[in-house]
Structure 1
Amino acid sequence: MFIKKWFNAAKYFLSKIQILVVDELYYSQFGWRTWVNKTWKNIDINIIKTKLWITDHLVVYRGDVSNNSIVSSIIPKIYQCDATYLIFCYQVISLNEFMLLCSSAKVLTLRKVTVKNDDGTEVSFEKLFEQLPQLKEIEITFTTPSNNTPKKTFKEFWEIPQLSIYDNFCLCDIPEIFDINSFYSFMKKNKNAKIFLSFSDEISEECKTRLEAIIDEITETENHEYKVPFIRFPGIDEKRFNKLFNIFCR
């Protein structure tokens, strides 16, 4: 009861200094909305005079290559972002913007999102997660099959210390330059993280053959001393797919 009264008093104080506390902020085809008293309320970001303090969810569902600055557009309106659950789709943002919004993230989804340094170069995705040690769940959908990502980036990703204590992570549209051997080494030691990997339509037959060999090893092993991952790629045969899926779901 005391905490509730304190929080209500804090909200009143913040309203006096023109800071609006928002638990959940969403952007979709309906524009910006927030969930208040079990009802969706529209927010016109362009006309509100208060700064926003986001405490829980920040989600940008709507976006494409021609509308990729939605996240950046709200930065001037942000007083503070303590959101622990964030989803960004089809956005281009700076590293400073990323850290401002995601510094408290525990669950983070980036679907075809590009994060850039001050000089315009792209931040490699493993560098982003090294700076967010509190993360527990991640989902990444790569922007293009090549993603302009060097192979060493994938190698370094599997070497991030906190990766082994994640609850879940999912990589989608994985490009050809994915470091399968580094992943395999991580997989054999992973006892906690639930892993889902979905590969790009453009991966080579050589890559598919290597993935098939890993899947066959998993499905032919009776006792696994590691957390079994789920792996999907174009052309995987139904029998192999089903055997792995059944083990993954145990």
Structure 2
Amino acid sequence: MGSSHHIYFSGPYRHQNWSFKNSYIDYILKHPSSVKVWRKMVQSCKYFFAKNSIVAFEQLFCRNEKWRVYLRNQTLKDIRYTSNPLKFWITANIELANCSVPPLISRIYKLNARFSDFSEQMLSYNEFLYFSANVAYLGFYNTIVKNDDGSIVPFEKLVEGLPKLKEAVL
């Protein structure tokens, strides 16, 4: 892939004097309509990123607890679970292979991934549904999905939870 980058924000920002009421700006800040709009807002004014630190990228990969995200052929490394309030907006693909899921879910702002690939995973049914809401293409290798009582979720129930599924490799 392309070059490696660290995600960071630095420098001061000033509260802006908007031509709109602050309540409108706050709503726009907390509810961006699309990734494209969010990126334009952040590029035009760092106030938006400082107040709502969302990083939008196309792909999230995790193999053996080593996380990588990709944005327009660039690899962003060193995504860590720190006190940094970064939130992730995943737009295209998520691939998990032998990774802890709960810390990731707490960091996701929106998940629009249409491609999901799970390998060597143990997921709860709720985690599976969370990652599969928009999935059209699913890869499923040596992965078990369990109910809250510890029982394995039947295949039919998994398929019912994938309303947009077009193709699966099991």
Unaligned runs of 5+ in 1: 64-68, 141-250
Match of 2:162 in 1: 132
Match of 2:150 in 1: 120
Match of 1:35 in 2: 70
Q: TM-score, normalised by structure 1?
A: 0.47
Q: Are 2:62 and 2:95, in contact at CA under 8 Å, matched by a contact in 1?
A: yes
Q: TM-score, normalised by structure 2?
A: 0.67
| Rounded Cα–Cα distance in structure 1 between residues aligned with 2:58 and 2:36 | 17
**Could you tell me which of 49, 57, 62 is aligned with 1:22?**
57
Q: Are 1:72 and 1:93, in contact at CA under 8 Å, matched by a contact in 2?
A: no
Q: Secondary structure at the match of 2:151?
A: coil
| Rounded Cα–Cα distance in structure 1 between residues aligned with 2:101 and 2:119 | 9
Summarize the Cα distance change of 1:22–1:107 in structure 2 as closer, same or farther, 3 Å threshold.
Answer: same
The percent of aligned pairs where both chains have the same amino acid is 30
Task: Compare relative contact order (CA 8 Å, sep 6+) and give the higher one, 1 or 2.
Answer: 2
Match of 1:107 in 2: 137
* Superimposed CA distance per residue, residues 26-68 of structure 1 (whole angstroms, 9 cap, x where no aligned partner): 113681111234222213332242121211110123x2xxxxx
Unaligned runs of 5+ in 2: 1-33
Amino acid corresponding to residue 112 of structure 1 in structure 2: N
Match of 1:56 in 2: 92
Amino acid corresponding to residue 118 of structure 2 in structure 1: F
> Shift of the alpha carbon at 1:105?
0.3
Counting only pairs closer than 5 Å after superposition, residues 1-250 of structure 1 correspond to structure 2 as: 6-9=37-40, 13=48, 16-28=51-63, 31-47=66-82, 48-61=84-97, 63=98, 69-140=99-170
Aligned residues: 132
| Rounded Cα–Cα distance in structure 1 between residues aligned with 2:129 and 2:35 | 29
Match of 2:9 in 1: none
Q: Are 2:81 and 2:103, in contact at CA under 8 Å, matched by a contact in 1?
A: no
* Superimposed CA distance per residue, residues 9-41 of structure 1 (whole angstroms, 9 cap, x where no aligned partner): 355546631222221111136811112342222
| Rounded Cα–Cα distance in structure 2 between residues aligned with 1:116 and 1:77 | 22
Summarize the Cα distance change of 1:37–1:135 in structure 2 as closer, same or farther, 3 Å threshold.
Answer: closer
> Shift of the alpha carbon at 1:85?
0.5
* Superimposed CA distance per residue, residues 55-109 of structure 1 (whole angstroms, 9 cap, x where no aligned partner): 1110123x2xxxxx52334122122211100111011111111111110000011
Q: Are 2:133 and 2:163, in contact at CA under 8 Å, matched by a contact in 1?
A: no
Q: Are 1:116 and 1:122, in contact at CA under 8 Å, matched by a contact in 2?
A: yes
* Superimposed CA distance per residue, residues 160-181 of structure 1 (whole angstroms, 9 cap, x where no aligned partner): xxxxxxxxxxxxxxxxxxxxxx
Structure showing the higher helix proportion among its residues: 1
- What is the Cα-based RMSD across aligned positions, in Å? 2.5
Amino acid corresponding to residue 6 of structure 1 in structure 2: V
> Shift of the alpha carbon at 1:4?
8.8
